[in-house]
Amino acid sequence: MQNQRRRRELRSAAMLVAPFLFVFTVFFFYPTLKVITLSFTNAPLIGEGEWIGFDNYVKLLSDRLFYTSIWNNFYFVLLTVIPTTVIALLIALAVDHLKGRVQALVLTLFFLPYVLPVSVVTLIWSWMLDFQFGILQPMIEFFIGRPVAVFKDPHWVMPMIAVVTIWWTNGFNVLLFIAGLRNISPDLYEAAALDGATNWQRFRRVTWPLLWPVTALVLTLQMILQLKLFDQVYLLSNGGPFNQSYVVLLQMYREAFQLNHGGYASAIAMVLFLTIVIVSVLQFQLLRMGGRK
Amino acid sequence: MEGTGVNLDAVTKTFGIVDVIRGVDMEINKGEFAVFVGPSGCGKSTLLRMIAGLEETTSGKIRIGERDVTNEDPAKRGVAMVFQSYALYPHLTVFENMAFSLRLARRPKAEIMQKVHEAAEILKLTEQLEKKPSELSGGQRQRVAIGRAIVRAPDVFLFDEPLSNLDAELRVQMRLELARLHKALGVTMIYVTHDQVEAMTLADKIFVLQGGYVQQWGEPLELYEDPSNRFVAGFIGSPSMNFFNATIAGHTADGISARLDGQPDLGLEVRLSQALEVGAEIVVGIRPEHLALTDGPGLRVTVDVAEELGGMSYQHGTLEGGDAVIFQQSGARHGLRGTVQTVVPEPGNIFAFDREGDRLR
């Protein structure tokens, strides 16, 4: 009797899990395994290759272009992660003061870019920043004294891609911060006001510590997202000029789909994967400790 | 008006088009325990928050001691507030919660230590000082909230329904502790509650609020014994007073004789100095504890629910006309449920109101 019921439960459990397991195995687990094994071969993009052990990784370690891309990746992280978090927090704090429909409207405005596909985002910005006709060039000219072809200038290219990226993805972070702010009871601010806290002290001693888990989450998500930078670079500058915007995923793409080095590209992918895992775990732990203090 | 009492003068509060407080005057003397009581939505919490400075005052004047604080910052009013939700800072320890205001004021460390430990001593929290609020029980959190107020040594303590999140037993215990604390500190306290039992047991002075007005204020027993209108009469006392529509049947030596509608056989004598015409329609109020079982003529009540409390019981039922009645009975343990009982009111304990709800005296 009980055995029968247990079997029935197991059967329905298996049926419920099966679709997910199938999709996960075929589209995620198997490709992952395949990439790991590919990275130890000299396979082309299509077809099998020979097992060459750690040769790809050794080669990668002496590949100067790889170091350039890694450096560019971290430069980009530096340019985006903390600025976008700070900007999102400031916007969220401001939007939080608004009420009702006005708040919803403003929030929508900030969120709007996030729903655009990357191709549209890059098109808009490459038009706005066009060397001859871009509407932002007069502004650049006003500050610098001359127009700049930003995506063809080695100094401007990464910061401008960072600006585009922040504009594009910031709305999501604002949303996370708003959710975090709404979780803080208004009673606490009233208690703090009675305790004699100034606006700054209320932020410093109540909002900031209570918002810290959300801040840590935003920082970590941003870190992972920005290390995976590819689309914007591919569409805006294609890695140039002088490899100043050459990033790891772009290198992987070129090795795999333009140079037909499937094995080598897999090794690059693996290194990026491990980098992201290590950096984000490390970061999240550090941030959690920071919050507990 | 001396020292640091609280004085309200024609205070009003409007939210948009809604008048929440429609003109309140009150005077709370130094060291008094004042309780605002009323049903939810009567404006009692709003009034308290106006005294605290958390809500702006639309018109009128609020004074604490000799100072006009109507437009003063909350922090500068010399008040401390205990919130219904306790409003403890969840990321800080009990010690830091209590030290918060002193830290903001950059007091010396030794002073902070001393003040927090003193407050913790009073509230038996010394063992809990290093814990976070999430590790404490409801009663302990409540004490931390009070401790945070004590540390600031305010002129006036404000309590916004502080016990409503506690279970019944703890509530009784905390009520006693609050009463002792008030005696020990001797400062002015203003306490908001919807629970008239809390109001009766704690207050030196009760303010009954309804519809944005103070309906009546005075000592607890004063309100119980001499309510000035039907609302106060119904609100103070538990279970609440029975009300019956009645007609004046005649005059007696010191008042009137009234007949309840639908009860033509029984004349109730009500002491009144006011002269009223025979035939005038009034409302008669009788408390459950002033109705006694009798073998003679009286009000015939069909009891449908009996609440047995051990020492006494509350019998809920209806008159023949359908009016609901509650009467209190002590001693007898046999169930009256389902029976028809006859009760008479104690003479001298019958209140009369006009149909608008004002007391007839």
Which tens digit of pLDDT belongs to each residue from A124-152? 998 888 888 888 888 888 888 887 777 87
**With a CB-CB cutoff of 8 Å, which residues 162-191 of chain A face chain B?**
185, 187-188, 190-191
Structure confidence by residue, pLDDT tens digits, A19-61: 999 999 999 999 999 889 888 888 888 878 888 888 888 888 8
**Mean pLDDT on B321-347:** 82
The predicted model scores a pTM of: 0.80
In the CATH scheme, what is the code of domain B6-235? 3.40.50.300
Distance from CA of A194 to the nearest CA of B (A): 4
Nearest Cα residue in chain B from A195: B101
- Position A197 scores a pLDDT of 87
Under an 8 A CB cutoff, do B104 and A187 touch? no
Residue B231: alpha-carbon gap to chain centroid: 13
Q: Which of B83, B104, B152 sits opposite A187 (nearest CB)?
A: B83
**Mean pLDDT on A187-206:** 90
Residue B155: alpha-carbon gap to chain centroid: 22
**Mean pLDDT on A184-210:** 90
Under an 8 A CB cutoff, do B75 and A194 touch? yes
Question: For B358, what's the count of Cα atoms within 13 Å in the CB-facing half-sphere?
Answer: 4
Nearest Cα residue in chain B from A187: B87
Closest by CA position to B36, among listed B285, B213, B258, B278: B213
Nearest Cα residue in chain B from A198: B104
Q: How confident is the model at residue A188 (pLDDT cuts 50, 70, 90)?
A: very high
Distance from CA of B17 to the nearest CA of A (A): 18
- Give CA–CA dist A98/A105, Å, rounded: 10
Would you say residue A12 has pLDDT above 90? Answer: yes
Q: How confident is the model at residue B333 (pLDDT cuts 50, 70, 90)?
A: low
**Record: fold of B240-289+347-361:** OB fold (Dihydrolipoamide Acetyltransferase, E2P) (2.40.50)
- Position B276 scores a pLDDT of 83
Residue ranges of chain B whose CB lies within 8 Å of a chain A CB: 52-54, 73-76, 79-81, 83, 85, 87, 89-91, 100-101, 104-105, 148, 152
**Record: fold of A62-292:** MetI-like fold (1.10.3720)
Distance from CA of A193 to the nearest CA of B (A): 6
Using an 8 Å CB-CB cutoff, list chain A residues near B87.
Answer: 185, 187-188, 190-191
Number of CB pairs, chain A paired with chain B, less than 8 A apart: 52
Q: Which of B81, B89, B91 sits opposite A194 (nearest CB)?
A: B81
Closest by CA position to B117, among listed B137, B132, B99: B99
- Position B1 scores a pLDDT of 42
ipTM surpasses 0.85: no
Q: Identify any residues that bridge with B360 across adjacent strands, giving them in sequence order.
A: B352
Using an 8 Å CB-CB cutoff, list chain A residues near B100.
Answer: 192, 195, 205
Nearest Cα residue in chain B from A199: B104
Distance from CA of B48 to the nearest CA of A (A): 13
- Position A143 scores a pLDDT of 86
Q: Which of A192, A194, A209 sits opposite B91 (nearest CB)?
A: A209
| Domain extent listing, chain A | 62-292
Structure confidence by residue, pLDDT tens digits, A262-271: 888 999 999 9
- Give CA–CA dist B166/A75, Å, rounded: 55
Would you say residue A292 has pLDDT above 70? Answer: no
Structure confidence by residue, pLDDT tens digits, B131-163: 999 999 888 898 999 999 989 888 899 999 988
Structure confidence by residue, pLDDT tens digits, B178-208: 999 899 888 999 999 988 888 998 999 999 9
Largest CA distance in chain A: 86
- Give CA–CA dist A166/A168, Å, rounded: 5
Mean of the per-residue pLDDT values of chain A: 87
- Position A290 scores a pLDDT of 67
Using an 8 Å CB-CB cutoff, list chain A residues near B79.
Answer: 194
Q: How confident is the model at residue A207 (pLDDT cuts 50, 70, 90)?
A: very high
Under an 8 A CB cutoff, do A201 and B104 touch? yes
Structure confidence by residue, pLDDT tens digits, B201-248: 899 999 999 988 899 999 999 999 999 999 999 999 888 999 999 888
Question: For B241, what's the count of Cα atoms within 13 Å in the CB-facing half-sphere?
Answer: 27
Q: How confident is the model at residue B332 (pLDDT cuts 50, 70, 90)?
A: low
The C-alpha angle B332, B337, B343, rounded to 5 degrees, equals 65
Would you say residue B3 has pLDDT above 70? Answer: no
Q: Does A194 touch chain B (CB under 8 A)?
A: yes
- Residue B29, classified by CB atoms within 10 Å of its CB into exposed (0-12), middle (13-18) or buried (19+), is middle
Structure confidence by residue, pLDDT tens digits, B22-45: 888 999 999 999 999 988 888 899
Would you say residue A1 has pLDDT above 70? Answer: no
- Give CA–CA dist B8/B81, Å, rounded: 18
Q: Does A50 or A170 have the greater pLDDT score?
A: A170
CA dihedral angle for residue B51, residue B53, residue B58, residue B61, rounded to 10 degrees: 50
Mean of the per-residue pLDDT values of chain B: 88
**With a CB-CB cutoff of 8 Å, which residues 201-220 of chain A face chain B?**
201, 205-206, 209-210
Measured distance between the N- and C-terminal CA atoms of chain B, rounded to whole angstroms: 31
Distance from CA of B286 to the nearest CA of A (A): 42
